[in-house]
Amino acid sequence: MSGRHYREFGSAAFDWHSPVMRTSTKGSVALIGSFRQHYPEVLAAARTFADAGLTVKSPPICRIVNHGHEFVRFESDPPESSDQELQAATLKKIFASDLVYVVNPGGYIGRTTAYELGCVHERGMAVYYAEPPKDLPIAVPEGTVVEARRLVEIIAGSDPGPAPVRRPRVAAQPTADIVIFTIREGQLRVLLVRRGKKPYRGMLALPGGFVRPGESLEDTAERELREETGLNGSGIRLEQLHTYSRPERDPRGRIISTAFLAVMPDPPEVTGASDARDADWVEVEESLWGPNSSLAFDHGKILQHGLEHTRTRLEHTTVATAFCDDLFTITDLRKVYEAVWGYELNPGNFHRKVVEETAGFVVRTDKVRRSGPGKPPALFRRGTADLLYPPMMRGRRTP
């Protein structure tokens, strides 16, 4: 268990033994323990903290209404809330507190208390115990077993208490990775680079790199696109997709990446530069599921997330037109859906949905495309709608 006396408070580092805290007992505390077995002891400790000027975030100081049940419900709990919803609300109050005090007569740690302790331990919160806990599979730092009244004195500064213990800080490096889709020869393609440096030298990866001093993540994404592929990212609308932070995702250390997503029509050719040996627009299905589909780092997972996000956006928004030129035919637009979703659509049904049933999706112009014999198809431009109503829902994909 953490038992630390140092935590983040708002935007500033907050030390329970700082001169500021020695002059006041203002702050907040959450009490945890077996309310079913030891609620009188919990109430006594809560009143001690409240009388000293601390805010008791949890539990509510009121009557238990379901004595004998495993999960305790209080008089102030909304009766329509489930046990799971009340537990989530309780954890939120605990996390919002400045310290956690465990009321555990005889050292007893129940199942719910152990769960809550695990949650606060992961957050590095300050934790104190009324008595030495029994059968707890985590370390209890010296000086964190203390009566409620003495803990109040420690906070107020009249008792020096144990030396403060500071939680370890994780130094992480931020990076930006970019997923850009386009359609070429009827296929959905993604911009990939071949790495020229370790780790994963020679493997395909998404373009991206480390944030430099003075850069935003968006600045980094645009710069890396330009340096690694020659693509001018300033004219590309980048949307944040997700942040990837698994500790083992990069063998170089703790590196947290924010992925950006974009789509574009008729992109220029790209060339590898900087630490990318080469760059190309690679067919997505081959990148994810082909015989040579292994991408560096966790970029396969990022690409899958980007693909599913784009497929879903085609259902509910007009983003499909971003794959098209300024003027396009309904067939051009249908081929976007077919390339992204991965299966053919009925041309007549698609035309009816786009032109007749979905207001603001496309606007007919007075131009046509003359490319061969027969009646030339009409050209359309983007409409004013951003959302599709009704949505263009995907059907079941056929092999």
**Residue 371 has what pLDDT?**
78
Domain 317-382 has CATH 1.10.287.1770: no
**Residue 6 has what pLDDT?**
30
Joined tokens for residue 380: 């359309």
Joined tokens for residue 248: 């083992």
**Residue 2 has what pLDDT?**
34
Closest CA to 173 of 207, 136, 213: 213
- Give pairs for 109-114: CB < 8 Å, separation 24+: 109/133, 109/134, 109/135, 109/136, 110/33, 110/34, 110/36, 110/37, 112/34, 112/71, 112/87, 113/32, 113/33, 113/34
* Delimiting residues of CATH 3.90.79.10 domain(s) in the chain: 175-305
* d(C-alpha 251, C-alpha 253), whole Å: 6
**Residue 159 has what pLDDT?**
62
Joined tokens for residue 14: 């907050």
* d(C-alpha 85, C-alpha 215), whole Å: 41
CATH number of the domain located at residue range(s) 175-305 in this protein: 3.90.79.10
The answer, yes or no, to whether the previous bond of 59 is cis (omega within 30 of 0) is yes
In sequence order, which residues have a C-beta less than 8 Å from that of residue 245 and are 6 or more positions away? 172, 256, 257
* d(C-alpha 313, C-alpha 387), whole Å: 9
**Residue 73 has what pLDDT?**
85
Sign of CA dihedral 276, 277, 280, 283: negative
* Delimiting residues of CATH 1.10.10.10 domain(s) in the chain: 317-382
Closest CA to 178 of 240, 266, 265: 240
Phi, psi angles (nearest 5°) of residue 164 = -65, 145
Q: Which residue has the tokens 């990775």?
A: 177
Q: What is the pLDDT of residues 100-136, one digit of tens each?
A: 999 999 988 888 888 888 888 777 788 999 999 887 7
**Residue 167 has what pLDDT?**
56
**Residue 110 has what pLDDT?**
85
Q: Which residue has the tokens 């703790």?
A: 254
* d(C-alpha 58, C-alpha 76), whole Å: 12
Q: What is the pLDDT along the chain (399 residues), one digit of tens a residue?
A: 333 333 322 222 333 333 333 334 578 999 999 888 888 999 999 999 999 889 999 898 888 887 767 778 888 888 888 888 888 888 889 988 989 999 999 988 888 888 888 888 777 788 999 999 887 766 788 888 999 999 988 887 766 665 555 555 677 899 999 999 999 999 999 999 999 889 999 999 999 999 999 999 999 999 999 999 999 877 789 999 999 999 899 998 889 999 999 999 988 889 878 777 899 999 998 778 776 678 999 999 999 999 999 999 999 999 999 999 999 999 999 999 999 999 999 999 999 999 999 989 999 999 999 877 788 999 999 999 999 988 999 875 544
**Residue 368 has what pLDDT?**
94
* Delimiting residues of CATH 3.40.50 domain(s) in the chain: 6-156
Pairing relationship of beta strands 55-58 and 99-103 according to DSSP bridges: unpaired
Amino acid residing at 182: T
CATH topology of domain 6-156: Rossmann fold (3.40.50)
